[in-house]
Every structure is written in structure tokens, then in C-alpha cells.
Chain A
Amino acid sequence: MQEVFTKSMARNIFLGSAVFFLIIYLALTYDTWQQIPVRDHADKMTASVIRGKYLVDTNDCIGCHTINGEGSYYAPELDNVYKRRGPEFIKLWIPAQPSGVVGRRQMPHFNFTPAQIDDIVAYLQWLSNVDTNHWPPNIEG
């Protein structure tokens, strides 16, 4: 057994499979990169959407929420929140936090300007139109 299958053969299998599957992954990634802008309507990423995304990132929204299922499981999904709640609800909801209801999970107060909230809503609207292969299963996220 030891003579038939040597350590250097094992090492070559390791190195060979590493290179082979890395090339496959890179090729797939190249193709994905071409498709993403179509699937997520990158042409609709306005300056407002990009500003909104920056606010979502720098306030660590995914520290509690999920976006397309990624983030934390402490607060609701944001991918389809635009469709679930609508822009007017969101614009009123964010500045009204924290609710202060005892025992209920609290969302911090962020001191956003009205213009910043518009940007966040623009981003959430863009997000809700990304083609995510029909996920989440329903409007509740």
C-alpha cells in the first residue's frame, strides 16, 4: 500500500486539484461578474442609492438585520423591506427609534437627516429589485 501510493502522489493530487478547481472557480466568477449588473439593475444605482448603501454599511445595519440572508438574525430582513413596508412607513419608522417598549428589541436612534433617510430608502428600493432567485420565499422575509 505504502509503495503503491506514495506521499508525493498524494501531494500532487492536492496541488493538481487546487489548481484545477481554482481555474474553474475563476472562470465561473468571470461569468458571474458579467451577469451581476444585469441581475441587480446596476444601471439604477443612482448617486442616492450609493449614498444610502454607505449609510447602511457605516451604521452596521447588518449587525442586527440581514440583507439577502446575510448579517445577523436579531432584526428583520432588509432585502424586501421596501416592498413589505413601503417607503412612507420606513421614513417614519427610522427616526422614531428606539421604541422604548420594555423588553422589546430596540433599534438605536441614528440622527439621520431627512435627505439621508431618502438615500437609505432609495437603496432599499434598489435592493428589493435584485434578482435573488425568488428568495425570500414570501414578503415576511
Chain B
Amino acid sequence: MKYQSQLVAKPYFIAALALFFGQIVFGLVAGMQFLDGTFLFSAAHFNIVRMTHTNLLIVWLLMAFMGAAYYIVPEEAQTELYSPKLALITFWVFLIAAALTVVGYLLVPYAHLAAITGNAIVPTMGRGYLEQPLPTKIGIVLVALSLLFNVTMTLIKGRKTSINLILVGALCGLALLFLPSFYFPEDTVKASYSWWWIVHGWVEGDWELILGALLGFILIKMTGVDREIVEKWLYIIMAMVLISGLVGIGHHYYYIGAPAYWIWLGSIFSAMEPIPFILLIAFAFKMLFQRRREHPNKAAMLWAMGTPIMAFLGAGVWGFMITLAPAQYYIHGTNFTAAHGHLAFFGAYAMVSMAIISYTMPMLRGREANSVKAQHWEMTGFWIMVLSMIGIALALTGAGIVTAFLQRSGADPMGFMQVQDRARVFFWGREIAGASFFTGLLVYLRSFFIKGEYQYTGEVKRALAT
């Protein structure tokens, strides 16, 4: 860590992991409600548990991205952060707003929450991922503006590297793409069409650029490869993201009431969406093989290499399986989509967040890398979480296929609830894999409580002895 102000990233990362923990707890409850429909029904209906699960996901990822920005931008710009104090105030505003929102979800009936927060004046509530009441949404905009002001001012007074320009540019995009959440037309088809500007715009566009910038930064630091090479790769990957993804948004428009030409356009362009992820794998491993140094933080390297692979699997492979219009005709709106959502969000964005946390946290705590023992726990957590998430995705895929066969096709299709009963074994599989994921998370979090730093001399001795 070169600049004192980078320390402001630390509370962001700690809060991110705490919220991640909360997200998984609510995920387990939601999964249980698939098995026992009356489980905790009087305390929290499924929709409340689900929105808490997904909203915590978004908030913790944003926390991690912001922490990453406050760490990376000063280091790349070679100057202190413009205002660490503002960054810290922003942190508390964001955390308290997020906590109040969750409390609101859990304690106040949703329609009542809408009534007391001015939803009648500017309707924004009741869309997936955007369930937040109006004051929270305004709060998110203010937090984003504060972040953008802070990092832009830092960038202006410092060195303008491509990594920094990409990162700050993508953060501007993130904020801009959130603005359509204030536009909720009365026409359901228009509402659905524009909802994807935010959701697709984030996860299949802008966030991929953030992912690229974070991964690029980690690889420059850890491998010592010339940044010109890294940045050239990033521009090509990002170009492919936009070439495939901008019109590729059409894969959300097949069956929502939009014109039929989206069936062709969406299929053709979104079929190319795996390409940037393939390039990302090639890039990451090329950098690994060309490394000019051995970084002692093996755990961070594991996350950095795991991210493109799992992102390709979740976003690329699982995304491709549901993207072509004839396939989507049968699996649109089934748990197949949920399988893709879980694996892609985890593989791309949760993992890149943990990669940057893994790389930076030891330094934020005053050491280059953690002790071998701590890294061992962290890497064990990595494998348990990764394998469990693949298990969750496979189980949900099974449930989706059951729906496709029994409810969506055949001469005598079954009703929804009947089909859900047939898919029960897969919901069990998901919940068991979910419990396993939770175990992996505990192992991962445990690694942060193992003290000590990486000992070069001890490791050299050990290597010589074997």
C-alpha cells in the first residue's frame, strides 16, 4: 500500500463481507421455503426473503467495487485520494441506508412501505432488484455521485493510466445506468423493456468493464507483466463486451411484448456474449505464464484465475444455454434462469470482489500477504464455495428442465404447483449445496482471523526440507 488514504477501502471490504454473510443466510431461508412453503411464513414471506437476498447481493458487490475504487484509483494515479473523509462519510451513509432498507423490508408490509416513502409521487417500487423505496434509491444516487466526485478529482490531479480511466469510466456508467430506475412507465412492456437497461446494462455490460479493470490491476501488480500488454488486452475484451452485449440485450426481449425482430437480433448478438469471457481466461492465464515474479499471496492468485473461469462457466456457458430464442421459449422464466443467475453473479462479480479483497486486505492490514495457514483456510473456502455454487447451479438447472418438459411441452402439460412437486429432489439438492456453500463461506471468513504474515525465510526452509 503506497498511500495512506487507500486505507479507506478497508471498511468497505469488511462491510461487503458482512453483507455477503447476510445474503447467504437469507438465501438458505428462501431455499428452505421452496421445500416447506410454510417455513417462516408468518415472519417473512418468500418475496421479502428473496428481495433481501438479492438486494444484499447488490449492496455488497457495490461496497466491494467502491472499496476497490478507493484502493486502486490513488495507487494508479500515484497520489492520495482527493478526500478520504468524504469516502468514509459516504461509507456510513451507504451502510446505514442499506440497513434501514432491510429493516423496512422485514418489518413493514411492502405496500405500506411504498405508501410511506412517496412511491405514489415517483413510482419506482416493485421491480426485480429495484425493490428499494424511493429514499434508498435517491441515497444510492448520492453515494454514487460522492464516489464519482472523489475518484474523478483524484484522477485529475494524478497519473491517468488506462486502468484508472476504464475503472472511473465504468463507475460513471454504473451510476448513469441506475437512473432509469426512476422511470417506471405504466405500460408493462415499456417498463420491462427499460428495466433491462439497468439489469442487463449492469451485469452484461458495465460491470464486465469493472471486472476487467479490477482483474487487470491485480494481474499487473501480482505478475509484474508490462501494463501496456495488460491494457491492450482489456480494451479488446471490453470491445467484445459491447459488440456482443449492446444489441445482445435483445435476448431479454423475445417474449415480453417487444417486436419479433429481437428474436433474431438477440439470438445472433447474445450468442457472442461468451467471447469476452473466453478472452478473459486467455488473458489471465497468459499473464500468469508470463509472470516476472512470484507473489506470496497465492490465495489472491487463485481468486484471480478462478474468476474468469467461473465467469465463463456461469455467464458464458449457462448464459449461452438459455440465450437462443428456441431454447428460451421453453426455459424462459424457469429455475434454469436462476441457475444462470447464481453461477454468473458468483463466478463473475462475487469472485472478482473476493479477488480484490484477497489481494488488498493483507496490505490494508500492514503486510504483503497473509500467513500460509491463513491462505490455506482462504483457499479451502474458495474451493468449497466454488464447488457448492456449481452444485446449486446444477440443481436449479435440473428444476428448470423439469418445468420445460412437464409444464412447457407435451400434449397434456401439468400445472405449476404439480410440476414444482416433481422438481422437489432438485430443491433439496440446491438447499444441501447451499448449506455447503455456507460452510465454505465460514471457512473463508475464518481465514481473516488467523494472524501473522507470510514468512519468506520459513517457507524457503520448508521448501528445502522437502
Contacts and interface: CB of A to CB of B under 8 A. Distances in A.
A72 B126 CA distance: 12
Contacts of A139: 413
A14 B259 contact: no
Contacts of B126: 56-62
Interface in B249-292: 249-250, 253-263, 265
5 contacts: A17-B242, A57-B123, A73-B333, A106-B45, A135-B329
Contacts of B123: 54, 57-58
A104 B34 CA distance: 9
Interface in A109-131: 110, 127, 130-131
Interface of B: 33-34, 36-38, 41, 45-48, 50-51, 110-111, 114-115, 119, 123, 125-128, 131, 162, 184, 186-190, 192-193, 195, 228-229, 231-232, 235-236, 238-239, 242-243, 246-247, 249-250, 253-263, 265, 329-330, 332-335, 337-338, 407-409, 413-417, 420
Q: Is the interface of B mostly helix, strand, loop or mixed?
A: helix
Contacts of B111: 55, 58-59, 110
Interface size class of A (residues with CB under 8 A): 35 or more
B332 A57 contact: no
A68 interface: yes
Nearest to B243: A17
A39 B257 contact: yes
Nearest to A39: B257
A2 B232 CA distance: 10
Nearest to B263: A133
A92 interface: no
Given A60-B126, A62-B127, A45 B187 contact: yes
Contact of B239 (A17, A45, A110): A17
A30 B265 CA distance: 15
A77 B332 CA distance: 11
A21 B247 CA distance: 7
A86 interface: no
B257 A7 contact: no
A63 B131 CA distance: 9
Contact of B235 (A14, A36, A45, A110): A14
Contacts of A21: 242-243, 246-247
Interface core residue of A5, A29, A32 (most chain B CB under 10 Å):
A32
A130 B188 contact: yes
Contacts of B127: 57, 62
A2 B128 CA distance: 45
